[in-house]
Amino acid sequence: MQEHEKLFKDFLKAKGLKLTLPRRVILDTIFTYHQHFNVDALYDVIRKDHQNVSRATIYRTMPLLVESGLIKQSLRCQSKDHYEHIYGHSDHLHFLCIKCGNIIEVESKEIEKTLKKLAATKNFDISDYNLGAKGVCESCQKKIL
Amino acid sequence: MQEHEKLFKDFLKAKGLKLTLPRRVILDTIFTYHQHFNVDALYDVIRKDHQNVSRATIYRTMPLLVESGLIKQSLRCQSKDHYEHIYGHSDHLHFLCIKCGNIIEVESKEIEKTLKKLAATKNFDISDYNLGAKGVCESCQKKIL
DNA sequence: GCTACTTTTGCGAATGAGTCTCAAAACTCT
DNA sequence: AGAGTTTTGAGACTCATTCGCAAAAGTAGC
Protein backbone atom coordinates (compact mmCIF):
# COMPACT_ATOMS: atom_id res chain seq x y z
CA MET A 1 0.00 0.00 0.00
CA GLN A 2 1.38 3.35 -1.01
CA GLU A 3 2.06 6.12 1.43
CA HIS A 4 -0.90 8.26 0.49
CA GLU A 5 -3.21 5.25 0.72
CA LYS A 6 -1.99 4.56 4.20
CA LEU A 7 -2.54 8.16 5.23
CA PHE A 8 -6.03 8.18 3.83
CA LYS A 9 -6.87 4.86 5.40
CA ASP A 10 -5.75 6.09 8.80
CA PHE A 11 -7.73 9.25 8.36
CA LEU A 12 -10.85 7.30 7.48
CA LYS A 13 -10.38 4.84 10.27
CA ALA A 14 -10.15 7.65 12.81
CA LYS A 15 -13.59 8.71 11.61
CA GLY A 16 -15.02 5.22 11.63
CA LEU A 17 -14.98 5.05 7.84
CA LYS A 18 -13.52 2.53 5.44
CA LEU A 19 -11.02 2.60 2.63
CA THR A 20 -13.20 0.89 0.04
CA LEU A 21 -12.31 -0.06 -3.49
CA PRO A 22 -13.93 2.97 -5.16
CA ARG A 23 -12.23 5.32 -2.72
CA ARG A 24 -8.95 3.63 -3.42
CA VAL A 25 -9.41 3.88 -7.16
CA ILE A 26 -10.22 7.57 -6.85
CA LEU A 27 -7.24 8.28 -4.64
CA ASP A 28 -4.81 6.32 -6.78
CA THR A 29 -6.03 7.88 -9.97
CA ILE A 30 -5.59 11.33 -8.52
CA PHE A 31 -2.08 10.55 -7.41
CA THR A 32 -1.14 8.80 -10.61
CA TYR A 33 -2.46 11.07 -13.29
CA HIS A 34 -3.28 14.50 -12.06
CA GLN A 35 -1.92 17.72 -10.84
CA HIS A 36 -4.85 20.05 -11.09
CA PHE A 37 -8.11 18.43 -11.94
CA ASN A 38 -11.85 18.67 -11.67
CA VAL A 39 -14.35 15.94 -10.96
CA ASP A 40 -15.46 15.68 -14.54
CA ALA A 41 -12.03 15.05 -15.93
CA LEU A 42 -11.26 12.69 -13.11
CA TYR A 43 -14.44 10.77 -13.83
CA ASP A 44 -13.43 10.30 -17.44
CA VAL A 45 -10.02 8.95 -16.54
CA ILE A 46 -11.36 6.64 -13.89
CA ARG A 47 -14.08 5.33 -16.16
CA LYS A 48 -11.54 4.00 -18.62
CA ASP A 49 -10.51 1.29 -16.21
CA HIS A 50 -13.38 1.18 -13.77
CA GLN A 51 -16.77 1.48 -15.40
CA ASN A 52 -18.48 0.99 -12.09
CA VAL A 53 -17.33 4.04 -10.16
CA SER A 54 -20.05 6.63 -10.18
CA ARG A 55 -19.86 10.38 -10.27
CA ALA A 56 -21.70 10.54 -6.99
CA THR A 57 -19.00 8.55 -5.29
CA ILE A 58 -16.31 10.82 -6.62
CA TYR A 59 -18.21 13.86 -5.44
CA ARG A 60 -18.65 12.21 -2.07
CA THR A 61 -15.00 11.33 -1.79
CA MET A 62 -13.57 14.75 -2.57
CA PRO A 63 -14.47 16.37 0.75
CA LEU A 64 -12.94 13.43 2.56
CA LEU A 65 -9.72 13.79 0.64
CA VAL A 66 -9.69 17.50 1.33
CA GLU A 67 -10.35 16.99 5.00
CA SER A 68 -7.60 14.41 5.16
CA GLY A 69 -5.16 16.99 3.89
CA LEU A 70 -4.07 15.02 0.85
CA ILE A 71 -5.58 17.43 -1.63
CA LYS A 72 -7.04 20.89 -1.48
CA GLN A 73 -9.61 22.84 -3.29
CA SER A 74 -8.01 25.15 -5.75
CA LEU A 75 -9.11 27.61 -8.36
CA ARG A 76 -12.64 27.49 -9.65
CA CYS A 77 -12.45 27.46 -13.39
CA GLN A 78 -15.15 27.29 -16.05
CA SER A 79 -17.78 26.90 -13.35
CA LYS A 80 -16.10 23.84 -11.96
CA ASP A 81 -14.38 23.30 -8.66
CA HIS A 82 -10.78 22.30 -9.15
CA TYR A 83 -8.48 20.42 -6.86
CA GLU A 84 -4.79 19.96 -6.49
CA HIS A 85 -2.43 17.68 -4.60
CA ILE A 86 -0.97 18.83 -1.36
CA TYR A 87 0.74 15.67 -0.24
CA GLY A 88 4.21 15.68 -1.73
CA HIS A 89 3.88 19.18 -3.13
CA SER A 90 5.23 22.31 -1.57
CA ASP A 91 3.09 25.39 -1.22
CA HIS A 92 2.83 27.51 -4.27
CA LEU A 93 0.59 30.06 -5.81
CA HIS A 94 -1.18 30.13 -9.14
CA PHE A 95 -1.23 32.42 -12.07
CA LEU A 96 -4.24 31.53 -14.15
CA CYS A 97 -4.15 32.70 -17.74
CA ILE A 98 -7.57 33.96 -18.74
CA LYS A 99 -6.81 33.45 -22.41
CA CYS A 100 -5.47 29.91 -22.62
CA GLY A 101 -6.55 28.61 -19.22
CA ASN A 102 -3.10 27.40 -18.29
CA ILE A 103 -1.96 27.55 -14.72
CA ILE A 104 1.54 28.63 -13.84
CA GLU A 105 2.72 27.52 -10.44
CA VAL A 106 5.23 29.51 -8.47
CA GLU A 107 6.96 28.91 -5.17
CA SER A 108 5.70 31.27 -2.57
CA LYS A 109 7.52 30.94 0.71
CA GLU A 110 7.76 34.67 1.16
CA ILE A 111 4.10 35.42 0.61
CA GLU A 112 3.14 32.58 2.85
CA LYS A 113 5.26 33.97 5.61
CA THR A 114 3.72 37.41 5.28
CA LEU A 115 0.24 35.95 5.26
CA LYS A 116 0.91 34.05 8.45
CA LYS A 117 2.20 37.17 10.07
CA LEU A 118 -0.91 39.10 9.09
CA ALA A 119 -3.17 36.34 10.32
CA ALA A 120 -1.37 36.36 13.63
CA THR A 121 -2.08 40.03 14.13
CA LYS A 122 -5.79 39.24 13.80
CA ASN A 123 -5.57 36.07 15.86
CA PHE A 124 -6.92 34.22 12.90
CA ASP A 125 -6.23 30.49 12.73
CA ILE A 126 -5.51 29.69 9.10
CA SER A 127 -6.49 26.30 7.78
CA ASP A 128 -6.01 26.90 4.10
CA TYR A 129 -4.46 29.47 1.80
CA ASN A 130 -5.69 30.64 -1.49
CA LEU A 131 -3.18 32.74 -3.30
CA GLY A 132 -2.99 33.68 -6.89
CA ALA A 133 -3.83 35.99 -9.68
CA LYS A 134 -5.56 35.99 -12.99
CA GLY A 135 -4.07 37.59 -16.04
CA VAL A 136 -2.41 36.87 -19.33
CA CYS A 137 0.55 34.56 -19.64
CA GLU A 138 3.67 35.32 -21.60
CA SER A 139 2.83 33.32 -24.69
CA CYS A 140 -0.71 34.66 -24.90
CA GLN A 141 0.61 38.20 -24.73
CA LYS A 142 2.60 37.50 -27.86
CA LYS A 143 -0.41 36.27 -29.79
CA ILE A 144 -1.86 39.02 -31.88
CA LEU A 145 -5.53 39.43 -31.37
CA MET B 1 -24.37 61.97 -11.78
CA GLN B 2 -22.06 60.40 -9.26
CA GLU B 3 -18.47 59.58 -9.97
CA HIS B 4 -18.93 55.85 -10.29
CA GLU B 5 -21.87 56.38 -12.62
CA LYS B 6 -19.78 58.51 -14.86
CA LEU B 7 -17.01 55.93 -14.94
CA PHE B 8 -19.44 53.18 -15.79
CA LYS B 9 -21.14 55.25 -18.44
CA ASP B 10 -17.83 56.02 -20.12
CA PHE B 11 -16.87 52.40 -19.98
CA LEU B 12 -20.14 51.35 -21.58
CA LYS B 13 -19.97 54.05 -24.21
CA ALA B 14 -16.52 52.91 -25.26
CA LYS B 15 -18.07 49.52 -25.95
CA GLY B 16 -21.09 50.92 -27.75
CA LEU B 17 -23.35 50.11 -24.82
CA LYS B 18 -25.76 52.23 -22.84
CA LEU B 19 -26.21 53.24 -19.25
CA THR B 20 -29.84 52.25 -18.96
CA LEU B 21 -32.11 52.69 -15.98
CA PRO B 22 -31.77 49.09 -14.70
CA ARG B 23 -28.01 49.26 -14.97
CA ARG B 24 -28.03 52.52 -13.09
CA VAL B 25 -30.22 51.11 -10.34
CA ILE B 26 -27.94 48.11 -9.97
CA LEU B 27 -24.81 50.22 -9.85
CA ASP B 28 -26.24 52.71 -7.38
CA THR B 29 -27.58 50.02 -5.10
CA ILE B 30 -24.23 48.31 -5.02
CA PHE B 31 -22.48 51.52 -4.16
CA THR B 32 -25.06 52.57 -1.61
CA TYR B 33 -25.68 49.45 0.39
CA HIS B 34 -23.02 46.85 -0.07
CA GLN B 35 -19.53 45.86 0.67
CA HIS B 36 -19.47 42.18 -0.11
CA PHE B 37 -22.58 40.87 -1.72
CA ASN B 38 -24.01 38.21 -3.96
CA VAL B 39 -26.61 38.56 -6.70
CA ASP B 40 -29.38 37.09 -4.60
CA ALA B 41 -29.01 39.55 -1.77
CA LEU B 42 -28.59 42.39 -4.22
CA TYR B 43 -31.77 41.34 -5.98
CA ASP B 44 -33.73 41.48 -2.73
CA VAL B 45 -32.52 44.96 -1.92
CA ILE B 46 -33.15 46.26 -5.41
CA ARG B 47 -36.62 44.74 -5.53
CA LYS B 48 -37.76 46.79 -2.58
CA ASP B 49 -37.72 49.94 -4.67
CA HIS B 50 -37.69 48.61 -8.20
CA GLN B 51 -40.00 45.68 -8.75
CA ASN B 52 -39.22 45.66 -12.41
CA VAL B 53 -35.53 44.85 -12.40
CA SER B 54 -35.06 41.19 -13.15
CA ARG B 55 -32.51 38.74 -11.88
CA ALA B 56 -31.34 38.13 -15.42
CA THR B 57 -30.45 41.76 -15.84
CA ILE B 58 -28.45 41.76 -12.64
CA TYR B 59 -26.62 38.65 -13.75
CA ARG B 60 -25.97 40.27 -17.08
CA THR B 61 -24.70 43.48 -15.53
CA MET B 62 -22.20 41.94 -13.13
CA PRO B 63 -19.60 41.02 -15.76
CA LEU B 64 -19.82 44.53 -17.15
CA LEU B 65 -19.19 46.03 -13.74
CA VAL B 66 -16.29 43.69 -13.22
CA GLU B 67 -14.82 44.48 -16.60
CA SER B 68 -15.19 48.17 -15.92
CA GLY B 69 -13.05 47.77 -12.84
CA LEU B 70 -15.64 49.12 -10.42
CA ILE B 71 -16.15 45.83 -8.64
CA LYS B 72 -14.42 42.49 -8.63
CA GLN B 73 -15.36 38.92 -8.12
CA SER B 74 -14.47 37.84 -4.67
CA LEU B 75 -14.84 34.71 -2.59
CA ARG B 76 -17.32 32.08 -3.61
CA CYS B 77 -19.41 31.28 -0.61
CA GLN B 78 -22.33 28.92 -0.12
CA SER B 79 -22.30 28.08 -3.80
CA LYS B 80 -22.76 31.69 -4.74
CA ASP B 81 -20.41 34.06 -6.47
CA HIS B 82 -19.65 37.08 -4.34
CA TYR B 83 -18.50 40.50 -5.36
CA GLU B 84 -16.87 43.45 -3.70
CA HIS B 85 -16.22 47.07 -4.52
CA ILE B 86 -12.90 48.10 -5.89
CA TYR B 87 -13.60 51.71 -6.72
CA GLY B 88 -12.81 53.71 -3.60
CA HIS B 89 -11.40 50.73 -1.74
CA SER B 90 -7.76 49.90 -1.33
CA ASP B 91 -6.46 46.42 -1.98
CA HIS B 92 -6.86 43.98 0.80
CA LEU B 93 -7.03 40.30 1.43
CA HIS B 94 -9.69 38.20 3.08
CA PHE B 95 -9.74 35.86 5.98
CA LEU B 96 -12.94 33.86 5.73
CA CYS B 97 -14.04 32.20 8.94
CA ILE B 98 -15.36 28.74 8.19
CA LYS B 99 -17.37 28.69 11.39
CA CYS B 100 -19.27 31.96 11.38
CA GLY B 101 -18.82 32.96 7.74
CA ASN B 102 -17.49 36.40 8.58
CA ILE B 103 -14.89 37.98 6.42
CA ILE B 104 -12.00 39.87 7.93
CA GLU B 105 -10.33 42.31 5.61
CA VAL B 106 -6.67 43.17 5.96
CA GLU B 107 -4.45 45.63 4.14
CA SER B 108 -1.96 43.80 2.00
CA LYS B 109 0.47 46.16 0.35
CA GLU B 110 3.40 43.91 1.09
CA ILE B 111 1.90 40.74 -0.31
CA GLU B 112 0.76 42.57 -3.35
CA LYS B 113 4.25 43.84 -3.97
CA THR B 114 5.73 40.37 -3.67
CA LEU B 115 3.11 38.95 -5.96
CA LYS B 116 3.86 41.55 -8.61
CA LYS B 117 7.53 40.76 -8.39
CA LEU B 118 6.86 37.05 -8.84
CA ALA B 119 4.57 37.68 -11.78
CA ALA B 120 7.26 39.78 -13.39
CA THR B 121 9.74 36.92 -13.27
CA LYS B 122 7.27 34.82 -15.25
CA ASN B 123 6.32 37.66 -17.57
CA PHE B 124 2.77 37.24 -16.43
CA ASP B 125 0.45 40.19 -16.88
CA ILE B 126 -1.78 40.32 -13.82
CA SER B 127 -5.28 41.61 -14.18
CA ASP B 128 -6.69 40.55 -10.85
CA TYR B 129 -5.43 39.25 -7.53
CA ASN B 130 -7.01 36.61 -5.46
CA LEU B 131 -5.59 36.54 -2.00
CA GLY B 132 -6.96 35.08 1.14
CA ALA B 133 -7.23 32.26 3.55
CA LYS B 134 -9.85 30.20 5.26
CA GLY B 135 -9.71 29.38 8.91
CA VAL B 136 -11.23 30.17 12.24
CA CYS B 137 -11.57 33.70 13.54
CA GLU B 138 -10.65 34.80 17.01
CA SER B 139 -14.12 34.81 18.48
CA CYS B 140 -15.02 31.42 17.05
CA GLN B 141 -11.85 29.95 18.53
CA LYS B 142 -13.12 30.98 21.93
CA LYS B 143 -16.47 29.31 21.49
CA ILE B 144 -16.55 25.89 23.03
CA LEU B 145 -17.81 23.31 20.62
C1' DG C 1 -40.62 65.15 -31.15
C1' DC C 2 -40.59 61.30 -34.65
C1' DT C 3 -38.16 57.36 -37.33
C1' DA C 4 -35.13 53.83 -37.98
C1' DC C 5 -31.92 51.20 -35.88
C1' DT C 6 -29.56 48.91 -32.15
C1' DT C 7 -29.24 47.44 -27.60
C1' DT C 8 -31.61 45.92 -23.56
C1' DT C 9 -35.02 44.01 -20.83
C1' DG C 10 -38.11 40.71 -18.30
C1' DC C 11 -39.90 36.49 -18.33
C1' DG C 12 -39.73 31.80 -18.19
C1' DA C 13 -37.39 27.91 -19.91
C1' DA C 14 -32.99 25.60 -20.03
C1' DT C 15 -28.45 24.25 -18.37
C1' DG C 16 -25.28 21.93 -15.61
C1' DA C 17 -22.38 21.22 -11.43
C1' DG C 18 -23.12 19.29 -7.36
C1' DT C 19 -26.30 16.86 -3.88
C1' DC C 20 -29.60 13.66 -2.29
C1' DT C 21 -32.49 9.30 -1.89
C1' DC C 22 -32.86 4.67 -1.58
C1' DA C 23 -32.50 -0.08 -2.13
C1' DA C 24 -28.81 -3.16 -3.08
C1' DA C 25 -23.89 -4.34 -2.21
C1' DA C 26 -19.66 -4.43 0.43
C1' DC C 27 -17.11 -4.27 4.88
C1' DT C 28 -16.06 -5.57 9.55
C1' DC C 29 -16.30 -8.10 13.45
C1' DT C 30 -17.50 -12.06 15.72
C1' DA D 1 -21.85 -17.24 7.68
C1' DG D 2 -24.74 -13.50 10.12
C1' DA D 3 -25.67 -9.00 12.13
C1' DG D 4 -24.97 -4.40 11.87
C1' DT D 5 -22.93 -0.55 9.72
C1' DT D 6 -21.16 2.04 5.98
C1' DT D 7 -21.04 2.63 0.90
C1' DT D 8 -22.37 2.48 -3.50
C1' DG D 9 -24.55 3.41 -8.25
C1' DA D 10 -28.30 5.23 -10.60
C1' DG D 11 -31.09 8.56 -11.40
C1' DA D 12 -33.99 12.23 -9.57
C1' DC D 13 -33.39 16.70 -7.81
C1' DT D 14 -31.59 21.54 -6.57
C1' DC D 15 -30.49 25.83 -7.37
C1' DA D 16 -27.24 29.39 -9.20
C1' DT D 17 -26.56 31.03 -13.51
C1' DT D 18 -27.45 31.50 -18.53
C1' DC D 19 -30.30 31.73 -22.69
C1' DG D 20 -33.98 32.69 -26.21
C1' DC D 21 -37.22 35.66 -27.62
C1' DA D 22 -40.52 39.13 -28.38
C1' DA D 23 -41.50 43.53 -26.41
C1' DA D 24 -39.46 47.91 -24.64
C1' DA D 25 -36.14 51.51 -24.23
C1' DG D 26 -32.02 54.34 -25.86
C1' DT D 27 -29.87 56.95 -29.50
C1' DA D 28 -28.84 59.59 -33.54
C1' DG D 29 -30.36 62.08 -37.22
C1' DC D 30 -33.82 64.64 -38.98
pLDDT in tens, A38-88: 999 999 999 999 999 999 999 999 999 999 999 999 888 889 999 999 988
Residue B38 confidence (pLDDT) above 80: yes
Structural domains of chain A ordered from first start: 3-85 (1.10.10.10), 92-142 (3.30.1490.190)
Residue B145 confidence (pLDDT) above 60: no
Q: Is the CB of B16 under 7 A from strand D?
A: no
Rounded CA–C1' distance between A134 and C29, in angstroms: 53
pLDDT in tens, B58-82: 999 999 999 999 999 988 888 999 9
Which residues, 6 or more positions from B51, have their beta carbon under 8 angstroms from its beta carbon? none
Highest-confidence segment of A54-63, A109-118, B122-131: A54-63
Mean pLDDT of the region A115-131: 88
Mean pLDDT of the region B90-103: 80
Q: Is the CB of A6 under 7 A from strand D?
A: no
pLDDT in tens, A9-48: 999 999 999 999 999 999 999 999 877 899 999 999 999 9
A77 to chain B: closest CA residue: B76
CA distance B32 to chain A (A): 28
Count of beta carbons in the 10 Å neighbourhood of residue A125: 18
B105 by Cβ neighbours in 10 Å (0-12 / 13-18 / 19+) ranks as middle
Mutation pick from A125, A126, A127, A140 vs chain B, by most beta carbons of B within 10 Å, is A125
